[in-house]
Structure 1
C-alpha cells in the first residue's frame, strides 16, 4: 500500500515567471508557520521528518528553490544565487499571505534566512540556522565545488546509496545502509529513462563556482537583525562549513541565541538528531 501523504503540493510563481513548488503540511493558524529552506543541492524531502513531527500545532511549508525537485529550472543559470532565492521566497510569502513566520534554514537555506532577516526582521518570529553562518569555511566550500553540478546516474537505489556512503562516510560516520538509502531517496529521482539521477539542475553550479557568490556581501549584520527574536544555531561537530569560533561569535553577537552541537556529524545535521530536536522544540516554545 502507498504511504499516506500528510501534505499537499503547493505552487507559486517567481517574478521572472518560474513555477515553483513547496510542500504544505497543514496546521493551526494561530501560530506563526514554519518555513523550511533546504541546502544547495537539496529539496523539500529533506524536511519530511521535521515537518511530520511539528505540523498540526502549526503549519509547515517546505520550499524547493528554483532548479530543485518539482520547481522549474531557470533559463538563466546566473539566477541561481541567494538574492534571487530571497526574491522567490518573498513572492511565496506574498502569495500565501504570510506576514510572520519561523524560518528553518540549512546551509544555503540558512543564508536565505539571514537575508530574510536583513530585509524584513519584523516578519521573523524566530530562526534556526543549521550549520551555516555569516562566514563560510573555505575548506568546505572547496569540497562542495568538487561535486556540485556533476551529473551522475545509477541503475538501482542500492547503487545510489552506496555511492553516497562512499562520498559522505566521514560526514555521517554512524550511518547504516538503511540511512544511506533514505538519503538517496531524498537526493535522487527516477528519470524518464528509468535511471536514478540527482534531483536538481546541474547548472546551479555555475554561479557557485565563482568565489564570493555563496553569500554575497558582509553577512554579519544579519545576526544583528535577528536580535530580540529566538535564534538557534545548530552546528555539526565535524562541520567544514561552520567553524566553531564562528558559531560562538554568532551567539555572542546575537545576545540571546542558543547553540546546539550535534556530536560526530559533519555538514550538515539532518535536524532529526536528539540534540537538534530538543533545541528546535525549545526555540518554538519561546516563539
Structure 2
C-alpha cells in the first residue's frame, strides 16, 4: 500500500482509509480483508447517490470466504459518504469519478482488480475499460448497461428531487419502503434496514441523505426530452475480460433486450436475473453472492490479453 493511502477511523463497516484525488480532494474507502491475499481484489463502485456502505455484506462475505478470501475496497465517490464535498458541483461526473477510482487504485497499489459496479458504478467501469484496460481483470455490471432507459432515469430524478426530510431512521426506512416496495418484493426486514442505513446519516441532529446536496444539481440538469447517450464503445472495451451482467427482474433502467444485445457483443458474458428486485439489486442474497464468487474464481484463472 502506498503512502498516499492514509489510515482513518475504524468503523463498523470495514476499515476506513482516506486517499487524495488528483485535485487534492479527500476520498474515503472501506477496506476489508487481508491485503496479502493472493486472489484478485474486488473494487466496489456504488450508484449515483449511494456510497461504499452498500457493499458491506458482500465485502464481509468475500473477505472471510472459506475457500478464496479476497481484499475488498468499497469506495465513497467525492461528495458521498465520508469523502470530501467538491466545491464545484460540476465535477460530480462519471469521468471525474473514474479518475478518482484510478487515484485510489494507485494509492492502494492495485494493479489488477475485479470491478463490481452498481448503476453509476457500472458506467464508471465501462469508462475505465477504455481508459485503463490493464487494471481490469473482470467486471460485474449490476443493473446497468450501455443503453439506459429514460423511464428509469425519470424515476430516479423524481424521487431524488422530491425526497422529504425524515424525522428518524425508522421514518427514513418507512419512506424508502414506500418508494421502492413495488420493485423490491423479495427484501427482508434486514435488507430494508441496511438499504436505508447506507443512504441516510444523522448529522447536526437531523437525518439527512449521506451526500452533498449539490449532487442534486446534476440530476436537475438531466434533459429527459433528449435521447439518452449510449455507451456501446465503452462497453466494447470490456470484450476481452470476463463479464457478469446482473439485472433486477423488475428493473426499469436495464431492459432484457439490452442484456441480449450485450451478450451478442460479448459472447462470453455471464447473465444473472435477480428475482423480486428492481434497480438495482442489493447484492445481499446468498445465491447472488455465490454467483459472484464463482465469477471471481473465473477471473482469477483468466489470462489477460497481451498488448
Class of the TM-score when normalised by the shorter of the 2 chains: over 0.9
Per the alignment, in what secondary structure is the counterpart of residue 153 of structure 1?
A: coil
**57, 60, 64: which one pairs with 1:52?**
60
Per the alignment, in what secondary structure is the counterpart of residue 245 of structure 1?
A: helix
Change (3 A) 1:143 1:218: closer
Which structure 2 residue ranges, 5 or more long, are not aligned?
A: 1-9, 300-307
Distance 1:190 1:150 in 2: 19
Question: Which segment drifts farther, 26-35 or 154-163?
Answer: 26-35
Query: Counterpart of 1:204?
Result: 215
TM-score, normalising length: structure 2 = 0.86
Which structure 1 residue ranges, 5 or more long, are not aligned?
A: none
**21, 43, 51: which one pairs with 1:35?**
43
Instruction: State how 1:227-238 maps to structure 2 within 5 Å.
Output: 227-238=239-250
Query: Counterpart of 2:28?
Result: 21
Per the alignment, in what secondary structure is the counterpart of residue 155 of structure 2?
A: helix
Structure 2 residue 62 is matched with structure 1 residue 62: no
Query: Counterpart of 2:304?
Result: none
Instruction: State how 1:122-201 maps to structure 2 within 5 Å.
Output: 122-150=134-162, 152-193=164-205, 195-201=206-212
Distance 1:254 1:38 in 2: 23
Change (3 A) 1:8 1:147: same
Distance 2:85 2:193 in 1: 26
Structure 2 residue 280 is matched with structure 1 residue 273: no
Q: CA deviation at 1:197?
A: 1.1
Question: Which segment drifts farther, 29-38 or 167-176?
Answer: 167-176
Q: CA deviation at 1:160?
A: 1.0
Query: Counterpart of 1:12?
Result: 19
Q: CA deviation at 1:55?
A: 0.9
> Are the aligned partners of 2:147 and 2:229 in contact in 1 as well (CA < 8 Å)?
no
Q: CA deviation at 1:154?
A: 2.2
Per the alignment, in what secondary structure is the counterpart of residue 201 of structure 1?
A: coil
Q: CA deviation at 1:5?
A: 4.0
Change (3 A) 1:212 1:149: closer
TM-score, normalising length: structure 1 = 0.92
Per the alignment, in what secondary structure is the counterpart of residue 140 of structure 2?
A: strand
Root-mean-square deviation (CA, aligned residues, Å) is: 2.1
1:213-243, Cα deviation, whole Å (9 max, x unpaired): 9xx9641122222123211000001100001
Number of residue pairs matched by the alignment: 283
